[in-house]
């Protein structure tokens, strides 16, 4: 988490440094994943006392045990192919995903290639996360809540964009989330120029946690008392 300071110039400098480091970490993480190396991510999780996440590039659809993931993979597979064989964002019709819209995220690359903006943040995901992050970048969200795993989130999108293939991940959720595990299937989509700059994500919480007053207090500490869904 960024150190609090009363000096606005020092705070801005520190925030800028964190953003630059975030881009570098996301790029390095994504490139490592493309080599089949997730040791950077595993070490990040280990330092924080968390088990390493599961990350599978181009997963076999037969292994997708969440119905929403299987449905998203079929939807993505059946879309018309656009740039270099990749389905186009323009061909996505939300009505065709009715029934799982609340579980979906839609992200757009911000132009740096290492950060991504939530254009849609599904209502079910927002309810579990404690806030609707629509309009925020993944990096800005990380700075807001002090999410030390932001390079992991961003690195996975970097890898999906460069590989132009789906990625499955499963990892332990932050302690203020009411479920213990987030399971995601990320499918890349092409923009008007054929670049993989859009991502549709089915983000499914599993392993419910028991109600906990302390956890609710921690959520308010991170997100603020007004950030209720």
**CATH value at residue 107:** 3.30.450.20
More confident residue, 10 or 71: 71
Is residue 229 situated within a structural domain? no
Q: pTM score, two decimals?
A: 0.84
Q: Dihedral of CA 53/58/64/70: which sign?
A: positive
pLDDT value at position 130? 87
> Residue 226 region, left (φ>0) first, then alpha (ψ -120 to 50), else beta?
alpha
To the nearest whole number, what is the mean pLDDT of the chain? Answer: 85
Is residue 22 situated within a structural domain? yes
Query: Each residue of 151-203: pLDDT tens digit?
Result: 899 999 999 999 999 999 999 988 888 899 999 999 999 999 999 999 999 99
Q: Please give the tally of structural domains in the chain.
A: 1
Is residue 45 situated within a structural domain? yes
Widest Cα–Cα separation across the chain? 54
Is residue 76 situated within a structural domain? yes
The DSSP symbol for 86 reads P
- Domain of residue 82 covers 8-91+100-223
Is residue 42 situated within a structural domain? yes
User: Residue 17 CA to chain centroid, in angstroms?
Assistant: 22
Q: CA geometry: angle at 81 spanning 155 and 156, to 5°?
A: 5
* pLDDT of 10 over the 60 cut: no
Q: Model confidence at 85, in pLDDT bands (50, 70, 90)?
A: confident
* pLDDT of 58 over the 60 cut: yes
> Residue 78 region, left (φ>0) first, then alpha (ψ -120 to 50), else beta?
alpha
Is residue 33 situated within a structural domain? yes
User: Residue 14 CA to chain centroid, in angstroms?
Assistant: 24
* pLDDT of 59 over the 90 cut: yes
* pLDDT of 39 over the 70 cut: yes
Is residue 2 situated within a structural domain? no
| Cβ(162)–Cβ(30) below 8 Å | yes
Is residue 1 situated within a structural domain? no
């Amino acid at each position: 988490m960024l150190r609090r300071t009363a000096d606005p110039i020092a705070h801005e400098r520190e925030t800028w440094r964190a953003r630059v480091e975030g881009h570098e970490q996301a790029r390095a993480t994504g490139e490592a994943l493309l080599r089949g190396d997730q040791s950077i991510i595993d070490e990040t999780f280990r330092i924080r006392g968390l088990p390493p996440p599961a990350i599978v590039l181009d997963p076999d659809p037969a292994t997708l045990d969440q119905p929403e993931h299987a449905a998203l993979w079929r939807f993505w597979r059946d879309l018309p192919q656009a740039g270099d064989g990749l389905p186009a964002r323009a061909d996505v019709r939300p009505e065709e995903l009715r029934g799982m819209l609340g579980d979906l995220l839609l992200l757009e690359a911000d132009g740096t290639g290492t950060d991504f903006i939530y254009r849609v943040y599904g209502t079910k995901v927002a309810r579990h996360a404690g806030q609707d992050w629509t309009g925020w970048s993944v990096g800005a969200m990380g700075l807001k809540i002090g999410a030390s795993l932001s390079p992991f989130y961003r690195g996975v999108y970097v890898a999906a964009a460069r590989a132009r293939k789906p990625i499955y991940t499963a990892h332990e959720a932050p302690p203020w989330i009411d479920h213990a595990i987030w399971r995601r299937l990320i499918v890349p989509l092409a923009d008007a120029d054929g670049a993989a700059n859009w991502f549709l994500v089915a983000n499914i919480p599993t392993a419910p946690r028991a109600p906990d007053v302390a956890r609710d207090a921690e959520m308010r500490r991170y997100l603020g008392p007004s950030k209720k869904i």
